[in-house]
Each structure stands twice: as structure tokens, then as C-alpha cells.
A and B are shown apart, each in its own frame.
Chain A
Amino acid sequence: MREITYAEAIREALSEEMRADPRVFLLGEDIGIYGGAFGVTRGMVQEFGEERVRDTPLSEHAITGAAAGAALTGMRPVVEIMFSDFLSIALEQLANQAAKSRYQFGGQASVPMVLRTAGGSGTGAAEQHSQSLEAWVCHVPGLKVVIPSTPADAKGLLKSAIRDPNPVVFIEQKLLYRRKGPVPDPAEDFQVPLGVADVKRPGRDLTVITYGRMVPRCLEAAGKLAAEGIDAEVIDIRTLVPMDKACIIDSVKKTGRAMIVHEACKTGGYGGEVAAVIADSEAFFHLDAPIRRVAGLDVPIPYNPELEAAVVPTLERIIFEARDLAG
């Protein structure tokens, strides 16, 4: 199979959906001739024109709301919010308007929009451009939340998100944009359904539940643990909302040990929800050890590169925690 980057896979998904459906259009800051802050939409304005690849003023609130308004009235907008940190500015329109419109109007309308944004640390951009804020949006009923970890998942999940009749927050991972992976040929109309987790590595001894940038890191850790005789199963949740609970529960019933890994701060993080889902299920009776969360420290992301790397789960820490849990 051919290999393309995560960014190229996203661009392919956007382009294919725009070619197939005239209702799909893009809006966001610097997504036109500039190609987006991370180059995801590079070349798209040349193919689709400025009406469908719309550069916007620096107005995250208004462009998110305009996307919701367009979605309510028959279009399928994909809005790009340059950094997920700027969700703080878009959140009123996302949480109070887009997420609630269908429910509060008694099912009269739907909001088929996608909000794409780039999350995560590791670029040296420090406190205001490095956060992992997925828990904020997971807490709002009416939103779906996706964080892909591979180019194939990025493409397949984004195509499903664009076709989904609900507002989907699609959080891309900055440090994965240039990472290559196999992606099916465009002729295949490849999709990955929302709400289905993926066992990226089967194993017997413990279940590692993770997503986004931590997936390749957990897989690397699992490879090293295998050399020590510890066989870790790595589940990529992929869609945080709705969560594929059955996949997690079945795995933990099999392994008896659960470790959740994410880059986001521990307190109030998504890992707490995963842990609770396990504890609330029959998997609880199969646990041989307490559920473990390996998460970012409860600090803002610092500038200094050593500090920045140290406040999110490192490869060494994941290996250490997994070894400790499996022992």
C-alpha cells in the first residue's frame, strides 16, 4: 500500500469530500493561499476556489458560529481552528450553539459541521499553543470528538466526520502531521466509522488504552516490553465520543490490567472517564490491579524543551508504569 503523511491524508479526505459533495466547504484562518498554519490545506484553494476554501478574519467565535449557522441551513462546513488552545475563544458557539441546537429545537434541525484543530505539545510553542483540551469538548453532550493517530485513521475518520449529521470536533496532532503511514488508494473511498476503537497491537498481559500522539509512543513501549516478556495490548480509542466501551471492557476482561495513557493533564482528563467505564463494568471483577492513569502533569506546557518533554508521558515513563502494573 502507498504511504502518505498524516497531513496529506487529511487533505485527501477534505478534497475527496469536497469533490463528492458541493455542500462541503472550508473556512478558517490562513487556510487559502498560505495553506493553513500546518500546511494541511495547501493547494486546495487552487482547486476549489476562494468561495469554498474561505480565509477568515481572526474571529474564532464568529467563524465557528458561522459554520454552525451554515450547517443548520443545509451546508456541510469544515472549520479550521489553528490551535486547539483557541477552542477557548470558539467554545461559546461550539458548546452553547452547535452542540445544543438539535436538542433545544426538539430535533427540528441538525448541525453537520466539523471543527478541525491541532492539539498537543512538543513544538516549543509553550503554554498557549500546546494544550490537549479534548476533555473540555467531551463533556458537552451533542458533540462528537475524534483524535486520529495514523494517516489512515485520519483520512477515514475525517471522511466519516464530514458525513456525520452532528458537530464533530476533530483534533489533529501537530507532531504526527509529517508522519507517514499506509493509506488505501483514493479510489476506495476509504472510511473509518466513528465510535469504533482499534486494537493497534493485541496482547495478553495488560491493556493500554490511549489515543493521538501517545499511540505510537505506547506501541514503541509495547515493543520494548515484549522483549522483557510483557505482552501489552494497545487500544487506540480514536473516537473519544462516542466511546467504544465494549472494546475496552472486553480487552480488560482478558488481560486483567488496565493502563490509560494520554498527554492531557491528569485531573479532569479523559483517562478518568475511561477508568470509570472500566470500574463500572463487569471488567472490574477481572482486574488484578488498580486501574492506572499515565497522564500529563497538572501544569501548563512549559517552553524549555526538557521541561516540555518531561511534563507529558515519556517513553520511559510509559514503560516503567506498564512494567510496574504488569509485575
Chain B
Amino acid sequence: MAGKRPSREKPAQVPHGLPVEMLRSIYTKMVQTRRFEETAARLFSEGKVHGTAHFCIGEEATGIAVCAALEPGDRMTATHRGHGQSIGKGMRLDLMMAEFLGKETGYCKGRGGCMHIADFSVGSLGANGIVGGGMPLAVGAALSQRLQGSTDITVCFFGDGATSTGSFHESVNLASVWKLPVLFVCVNNLYAMSTPLRRQANIPDLAQRGQAYGIRGVSMDGNDAIAIYLAAREAREYVKQNGPMLLVLNTYRHMGHSKSDANVYRTKQEIEEWKKRCPIKRMRERLVAEGTFTDDELDAIEAQAAGDVEEAVRFAEASPAPRIEEAARDVYA
């Protein structure tokens, strides 16, 4: 199902100023993330994976579009729900899938799993199993950038739940006092596991949290990839010049918190309402309506993503497990 129109017929940019190749990349990574997680969920149900996983299905625009606005030298700390953030920062599907299956060929040699996945070669400083745990690390990474004379920035992803941790408050304050180049990105999916936002915070908009620390706070639709990309690009410039800011992306996770979640704390109707606002569907409709890509072209991207993920699964399944004799390797450098 290759695209019928050769890409050379396209203009380099579409009306809102985005390069067409950037739109292609964002869309591709969003569907890769969706397919990666759907496949991961299937592997769970087939009993091929142990442990747990936290899926970002429904939230793909947040990690992908923010990371698309970054420069190669920028760094990123991810959350426990970080597949999209990792793919967005340039991590490879095959090495991620191998890590998910606990294989020696995985990013972390099967030691960390997806909750602790990292790729320092692309500036991905790791997902984190502790809610809010990556925030001080991001501040430290930005401090390195400052001390090393770099003009790069660090993006720090966290969820709405993390805004209740001391780690959030200490980290945002420290970054603000030192005016460090940290873009704090709150992926607000409205629930900290089962606890709704209204029981976590007595403010209507989490971006208000920025005021307490003297930093800019912006809240926006977290399911509009193109708008997020534009906002993140602007935010990156702002952070580089002025120090930290808080960008709150309001979104929703379609699946449960983890694989053990029975979804008893929210209604089917609510979930269905949010599925209608699916960020992939939305971007697709817009790209087609604006004539940037045809349905056939987008179908081809999706088919390619599906093939890439299947290839990643084949690689992971064929990969060796870590050797038990090496369980104590890498505790110390």
C-alpha cells in the first residue's frame, strides 16, 4: 500500500509552518508507539512477559510531539509510562522490545525492563519506577549543561500524580532558583493510578503550580500533536533563554494504570468519550483534510510501523536471555 503520490510533489512546509517531514516523523512515531504497546499487551496475554507495564495508549502525542521539538543534544528523563517519550527521543523499537522481554540484547541488558529503560547515546536518561523520581535527575542534567557551557536543554516528563510529591516541588524550585534549562512537562492523564485529579490537587489547572516557583506555566490540549509540537518548540527557546517552565499537557490513558487495573474507578462512557479524541486519529484526520498526506500514504506509514514492531518482536524473541552468572555485573563501575 505504498503512497500513490510521490513525496517530491509535496511542498516542504504546510500552512502552519511545520516541515512535512516533521509531520511524517511525528505521525510515524505515534503509530509506532501505539503498535508497540498493543503488541506488548498481546505478549502479556500470551504469557511471554512477566512483571508489569504501563501503557501510554491515548497519550502518544505528548511524548512524541515534545521530543520532536528537541535538538539532538537535549536530554530527557521519562516516566514509568514512557514508551512514547523513549521512541520520541529516538530509541530503537528492537532494542526496546528486547528489553521488554528481558533479553541481553535489550537497552538495559534485561536488567531494567521498560520501567527503567534508557539510551544515553540519544540523551534519554531513563524512565523511572518512582513517581517524581526522575525530576531531580533532570535538574542535575540541566546543571551539567550549564556548567559545561552547553546551550542544550533537558526535558523532564512526569505525570499529574508526581505534582503531589515533594520531589516535584523541590525540583521545580531548585531549577527555578538556579534558572536551569529544564522544560518540565506534566502529562496530565487525570488519574494517579485510580485517584482523580480533583482528589490530588485543589486547583483547577496544574499549570498554576508554576506560579508558586516564579516560573511560567502553560496548560494545553495534550491530544493535539501539531499544537504540542509548536508549543514545545517555543517552550524550548524560552527555557534556553529564561530558565525552566512548566508545560501541562491534558490527556487521557485509554488503558488501565498497569496490567492489573480493572478500571473500576472510571466509567466506560468517560473512556469512550476520550477515545473519540484519540491523538492519532485526530492527527490523521487533520493531515488528510489539509492535504498533507493521503489516506493511502498514512496507511502505508501504519503498515510500515506494524512491520517494524513485528520485526522488533522477532529480534527480541530470538535474542538470548541474560546469563545468570552475570546477575551481579554492573552493580559498580
Residues on A lying within 8 angstroms of B by beta carbon are: 25, 51-52, 54, 56-57, 59, 61-75, 77, 92-93, 96-97, 100-112, 141-142, 144, 165-166
Q: Which of A73, A92, A104 contacts B144 (CB 8 A)?
A: A73
* CB pair B111 A59 closer than 8 Å: no
Contact: A75 with B147, CB < 8 Å?
yes
* B140–A68 CB distance below 8 A: yes
Assembled-state Cα–Cα distance A59/B145 (Å): 21
A108→B118 contact, CB < 8 A: yes
Across-interface contacts of A104 in B (CB, < 8 A): 108, 111-112, 116, 126
Other than the given A109-B125, A111-B333, A165-B333, 18 more pairs (CB < 8 A) read A25-B147, A54-B178, A61-B170, A64-B136, A65-B136, A65-B137, A65-B139, A65-B167, A66-B139, A66-B140, A73-B75, A73-B144, A74-B144, A102-B330, A102-B331, A105-B120, A106-B109, A112-B333
Question: Known contacts being A65-B167, A92-B167, is A72 close to B137, with CB within 8 Å?
Answer: yes
3 interchain residue pairs of minimum CB distance: A69-B140, A65-B136, A62-B170
Give chain B residues whose Cβ lies under 8 Å from the Cβ of A105.
107-108, 111-112, 116, 118, 120, 126
Contacts of B167 in A (CB 8 A): 61-62, 65, 92
* Beta-carbon contact of B118 and A166 below 8 Å: no
- Which chain A residues lie closer than 8 Å to B128 at the CB level? 97
The docked-state distance in angstroms from the alpha carbon of A285 to that of B173 is 58
Give the number of chain B interface residues (Cβ < 8 Å): 46
Distance from B167 Cβ to chain A, minimum over Cβ atoms (Å): 6
Instruction: Name the contact of B174 in the complex, choosing from A63, A72, A73 (C-beta under 8 A).
Output: A63
User: Residue B14 at the A interface, CB < 8 A?
Assistant: no
A63 nearest CB across to chain B (Å): 7
Instruction: List residues of B (121-160) whose CB comes within 8 Å of A's CBs.
Output: 125-126, 128-130, 133-145, 147-148
Judge if B106 is at the interface, Cβ distance under 8 Å.
Answer: yes
The answer to whether A109 and B136 have CB atoms under 8 Å apart is: no
Q: Which residue of A lies closest to B166 (CB)?
A: A61
| One of A67, A72, A93 near B125 (C-beta < 8 A) | A72
Question: Does B171 make an interface contact (CB < 8 A)?
Answer: yes
Chain B residues within an 8 Å CB radius of A111:
333
Chain B contacts for A74, CB-based, 8 A: 144, 148
Which chain B positions have C-beta within 8 A of A59? 170, 173-174
Give the docked Cα–Cα distance between A144 and B331 (Å). Answer: 11
Q: Which of chain B's residues has its CB closest to A58's CB?
A: B170
Distance between B163 CB and nearest chain A CB, rounded to angstroms? 15
Q: Which residues of the other chain, A, contact B333 by a CB distance below 8 angstroms?
A: 102, 107, 110-112, 165-166
In contact, A62 and B139 (Cβ under 8 angstroms): yes
Bound-state Cα–Cα, A86 to B230, Å: 43
Residue from A69, A110, A166 within 8 A of B143 (CB atoms): A69
* Most chain B CB inside 10 Å of its own CB: which residue of A64, A74, A105, A142: A105
Q: Is B318 an interface residue (CB 8 A)?
A: no
Q: Are B125 and A92 in contact (CB under 8 A)?
A: no
Task: Give B97-108 as 1s and 0s: 1 = Cβ < 8 Å from A's Cβ atoms.
Answer: 000000000111
Can you offer 22 A-B residue contacts whose CB atoms are under 8 A? A62-B139, A63-B136, A65-B136, A66-B140, A69-B140, A69-B144, A70-B141, A72-B140, A73-B140, A77-B140, A101-B126, A102-B330, A102-B333, A103-B112, A105-B111, A105-B118, A106-B109, A106-B110, A108-B107, A108-B120, A109-B125, A142-B332
